[in-house]
């Protein structure tokens, strides 16, 4: 069975975190390519509005409110999808959120919640839908992780932990299921211009990172391209992948550079000092 997803028309695609940002943009693009889309997020009103937009454009959409951090809720939602549509061909584990806070200042409940949403939510959905893919001998799973899942920045300890775990889950799973007809793609975006980066995040973000911020449409196109070509890993923008080699070859220099560029204005005297 080919690992390349060359045809989306008629495919059943489920996108978590579909109410905004990357998830919304990806769901709209999948629908435009002819996929039948299941839209998952907590906000029912936002999902219904998105589903109406898909239908108005001639597509097919199912709005499915669900908190991905709740195991039983995911199991029930997945069972409903299987009952209504017979299963899912493409699962996009995209739901997630983050904050930019020092570990010592971070509320423990929020850190736990972040790990449940960002990591366990993907685990729950994959556990629920993967068996059907294996039974059919065909399927695609996308894990939207983060550059912070490969290179841990300061002020994002809980977020980085959740994304490192997601990258490990995806890589291990890929080795297990690729010979069973299921292809796994791990996506590590850099700084994407979405509501994820709220006012707090933008104020704390180094100037260098703000200059690297890109629009979500390019990431969506890159994800579809990676699925078409059968790639297993995608870092976007692609130039950021060079940081992995620098980190491996020159760890002390890399660590110094990360600490220097991550300093906030109140630590350097002026933002321009970065």
Structure tokens at 29: 């693009």
Contact (CB, 8 A) for 33 and 223 = no
Alpha helix (H) residue ranges in the chain:
21-32, 44-56, 71-85, 108-115, 121-136, 157-177, 199-204, 207-211, 216-229, 242-249, 251-262, 265-268
Q: Are 83 and 132 in contact (CB under 8 A)?
A: no
Q: Name residues whose C-beta falls within 8 Å of residue 46's C-beta, 6 or more positions apart in sequence.
A: 19, 20
Residue 65 bridge partners (DSSP): 41
Neighbour-count burial of 193, counting CB atoms closer than 10 A to its CB (0-12 exposed, 13-18 middle, 19+ buried)? middle
State the catalytic residue, choosing from 124, 159, 236, 244.
159
Q: What is the rounded CA–CA span in Å between residue 155 and residue 187?
A: 22
**In a 3-state reduction of DSSP, which class is residue 87?**
coil
What is the C-alpha radius of gyration for the chain, rounded to an integer number of angstroms? 19
Burial (CB < 10 A; 0-12, 13-18, 19+), residue 154, is middle
Picking from 63, 41, 199, the residue whose alpha carbon sits closest to that of residue 121 is: 41
Establish whether 244 is a catalytic residue.
no
Annotated catalytic residues are 159
């Amino acid at each position: 069975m080919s690992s390349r997803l060359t045809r989306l028309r008629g495919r059943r695609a489920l996108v978590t975190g579909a109410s905004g940002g990357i998830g919304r943009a990806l769901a709209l693009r999948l629908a435009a390519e002819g996929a039948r889309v299941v839209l998952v997020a907590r906000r029912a009103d936002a999902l219904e509005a998105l589903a109406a937009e898909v239908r108005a454009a001639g597509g097919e959409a199912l709005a499915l409110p669900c908190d991905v951090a709740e195991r039983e809720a995911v199991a029930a939602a997945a069972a409903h999808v299987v009952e209504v549509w017979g299963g899912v061909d493409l699962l996009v584990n995209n739901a997630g959120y983050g904050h930019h806070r020092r570990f010592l200042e971070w509320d423990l409940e929020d850190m736990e919640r972040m790990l449940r949403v960002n990591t366990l939510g993907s685990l729950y959905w994959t556990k629920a839908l993967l068996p059907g893919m294996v039974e059919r001998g065909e399927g695609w799973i996308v894990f939207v992780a983060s550059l912070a899942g490969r290179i841990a920045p300061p002020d994002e300890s809980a977020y980085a932990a959740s994304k490192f775990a997601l990258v490990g889950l995806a890589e291990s799973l890929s080795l297990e299921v690729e010979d069973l007809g299921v292809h796994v793609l791990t996506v590590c975006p850099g700084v994407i211009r979405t509501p994820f980066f709220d006012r707090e995040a933008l104020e704390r973000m180094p100037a260098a990172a703000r200059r690297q911020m890109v629009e979500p449409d390019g990431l969506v196109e890159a994800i579809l391209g990676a699925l078409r070509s059968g790639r297993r890993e995608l870092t976007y923008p692609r130039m950021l992948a060079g940081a992995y080699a620098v980190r491996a070859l020159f760890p002390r220099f890399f660590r110094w550079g990360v600490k220097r560029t991550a300093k906030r204005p109140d630590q350097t005297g002026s933002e321009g000092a970065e």
